[in-house]
């Protein structure tokens, strides 16, 4: 089909004018997102010129460019002024980095840590302004949460509490759901869900008064069945659904709720290889005999090796997550969900639009591809034999040629 350069030129002129205006207003930044968007528009332009009539090509390209630039535009920001924010889990990682940035911006930061003498807590004390206050809090202890609530009410009496950043969380086990003790599921729920629920509910009177913000760091593992992240993923799924519910219920009060779904970043806990090795050893030492025989020690070792390899690919720069949290706190119209990090767009597209088999294979190739359990390997005892182990020895065993 003959190409039609003039509709394409008109659409590009409109897109360029919009982009230039946004750049002059500082609503748009030059960077990889903008360059990627322009590359996609160029590909769409090529496709439209070959498949559509001139006016239809003009309409599609112009509308797509307008929508893309609207999505890339930064929402107008509210002034920091004397806003106060409570951030949980500031010993390391996203919490510590966010506390530093918000303090530098002029926020009054209340930062909770597990230990006041932890390296992260001491670092915050040394490098931040006197406005930043450290609070010791363990989300599994109601007394700690109650003390934090009272401290927050007292120290925000004059300014009000503008925001809560639910960042604290933990992932303590990487294993199949069947291999994961029920106690591990409960522990993950206590920290990642119930602790955040209790703290958020306790602070809602202050947040309703300020018509403030709730920002919660969740995980794509709460949206997709990542292999061997059942304990962590189920708790994050519950947390995300809770925040979606709060988002609807608190809308009349003027409270805006955002969820951060980051890719894998190199936080301190991610890089602690010795910690993951120790947890693997504890898992193997405490596995019931039947499960150890059915899956095999090699299976668990393989999972651990693949997990550690995936962590080695984690992103070193935490600023995309910190920027997303900051935008959720200060944007006039914050997004309900943020996806900081590379590759998440493709991952979610595959998860929502491709067949289940392809989704499963993608997650296995991207994260962990489990090996074949021992009981399913050729030459091994059948599943029936493996199940018989769980029921105990045969009361009338046949003589064994090797019995002593």
Check residues 246 and 64 and name the one with the higher pLDDT.
246
Domain residue limits, the chain:
5-72, 84-266+317-341
Of 11-20, 26-35, 120-129, 133-142, the poorest mean pLDDT is in 26-35
Q: Per-residue pLDDT averaged across 44-66, rounded?
A: 82
Q: What is the structure's pLDDT at 292?
A: 94
Residue 23 has pLDDT above 90, yes or no: no
Known catalytic membership, residue 295: no
375/12: higher pLDDT: 375
399: pLDDT strictly greater than 70: no
Question: Taking residues 159-170, what's their average pLDDT?
Answer: 96
pLDDT at 272: 85
pLDDT of residue 257: 98
Query: Would you say residue 71 has pLDDT above 80?
Result: no
Per-residue model confidence (pLDDT) at position 398: 42
Evaluate if residue 105 carries a pLDDT over 60: yes
Lowest mean pLDDT among 148-152, 334-338, 349-353, 386-390: 386-390
CB-based contact 307:297 (threshold 8 Å): no
Residue 236's pLDDT band (cuts 50, 70, 90): very high
Average pLDDT of the segment spanning 236-246: 98
pLDDT tens-digit readout, 335-354: 999 999 988 888 888 898 88
The whole-angstrom separation of Cα 112 and Cα 132 is 10
Question: Does 396 score more than 50 pLDDT?
Answer: no
pLDDT of residue 385 exceeding 60, the answer is no
Q: Cβ(220)–Cβ(350) under 8 Å?
A: no
pLDDT of 381 reads: 63
- Mean of the pLDDT values across residues 225-232? 94
- The whole-number pLDDT of residue 345 equals 85
The residue-averaged pLDDT of 201-225 equals: 97
Section 243-251 average pLDDT: 97
CA distance 6 to 55: 10
pLDDT in tens, 109-123: 999 999 999 999 999
Residue 383: the pLDDT is 52
pLDDT > 70? residue 27: no
- Tell me the C-alpha distance between 210 and 85, whole Å: 12
Residue 393 has pLDDT above 60, yes or no: no
pLDDT digits (tens, 9 = 90+) for 259-298: 999 999 988 888 888 899 999 999 999 999 999 999 999 9
Distance separating alpha carbons of residues 186 and 172, to the nearest angstrom: 12
Between CA 141 and CA 168 the distance in angstroms is 14
Query: What is residue 395's predicted lDDT score, i.e. its pLDDT?
Result: 45
Rg of the chain over all Cα atoms, to the nearest angstrom: 26
CATH architecture, range 84-266+317-341:
3-Layer(aba) Sandwich (3.40)
Instruction: Tell me what the mean pLDDT of segment 193-208 comes to.
Output: 98
State whether the Cα torsion 277-280-285-286 is positive or negative.
positive
| Per-residue confidence (pLDDT) for residue 366, from 0 to 100 | 80
Average pLDDT over residues 94-114: 97
> Cα–Cα distance between 343 and 15 in angstroms, integer?
25
Q: Which residue would you say has higher pLDDT here, 19 or 176?
A: 176
Output the pLDDT for position 325. 97
pLDDT above 70: residue 314 = yes
pLDDT of the residue at 62: 83
| Residue 51 pLDDT level (bands cut at 50, 70, 90) | confident
Q: What is the pLDDT of residue 10?
A: 75
With beta carbons less than 8 A apart as the criterion, state whether 217 and 262 touch.
Answer: yes
């Amino acid at each position: 089909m003959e190409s039609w350069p003039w509709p394409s030129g008109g659409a590009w002129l409109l897109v360029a004018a919009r982009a230039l205006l946004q750049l002059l207003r500082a609503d748009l930044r030059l960077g990889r997102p903008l360059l990627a968007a322009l590359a996609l528009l160029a590909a769409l332009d090529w496709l439209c010129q070959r498949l559509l009539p001139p006016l239809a090509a003009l309409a599609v390209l112009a509308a797509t460019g307008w929508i893309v630039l609207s999505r890339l535009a930064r929402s107008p920001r509210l002034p920091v002024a004397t806003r106060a924010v409570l951030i949980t889990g500031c010993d390391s990682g996203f919490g510590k980095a966010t506390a530093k940035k918000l303090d530098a911006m002029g926020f009054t930061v209340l930062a909770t840590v597990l230990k006041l003498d932890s390296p992260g807590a001491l670092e915050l004390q040394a490098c931040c302004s006197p406005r930043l206050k450290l609070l010791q809090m363990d989300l599994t202890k109601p007394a700690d949460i109650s003390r934090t609530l009272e401290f927050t009410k007292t120290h925000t009496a004059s300014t009000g509490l503008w925001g809560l950043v639910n960042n604290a969380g933990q992932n303590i086990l990487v294993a199949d759901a069947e291999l994961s003790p029920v106690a591990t599921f409960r522990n993950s729920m206590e920290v990642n869900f119930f602790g955040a629920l209790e703290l958020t509910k306790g602070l809602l009177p202050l947040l309703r008064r300020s018509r403030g913000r709730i920002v919660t760091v969740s995980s794509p593992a709460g949206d997709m069945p990542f292999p061997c992240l059942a304990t962590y993923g189920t708790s994050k799924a519950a947390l995300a659904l809770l925040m979606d519910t709060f988002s609807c219920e608190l809308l009349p009060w003027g409270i805006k709720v955002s969820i951060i779904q980051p890719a894998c970043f190199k936080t301190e806990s991610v890089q602690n290889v010795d910690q993951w090795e120790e947890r693997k050893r504890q898992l193997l030492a405490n596995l019931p005999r039947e499960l150890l025989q059915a899956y095999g020690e090699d299976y668990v070792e393989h999972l651990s090796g693949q997990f550690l390899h995936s962590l080695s690919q984690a992103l070193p720069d935490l600023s995309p997550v910190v920027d997303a949290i900051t935008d959720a706190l200060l944007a006039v119209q914050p997004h309900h969900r943020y996806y900081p990090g590379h590759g998440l767009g493709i991952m979610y597209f595959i998860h929502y639009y491709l067949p289940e088999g392809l989704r499963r294979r993608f997650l296995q190739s991207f994260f962990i591809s489990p090996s074949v359990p021992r009981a399913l390997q050729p030459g091994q005892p059948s599943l029936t034999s493996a199940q018989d182990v769980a029921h105990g020895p045969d009361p009338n065993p046949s003589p064994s040629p090797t019995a002593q």
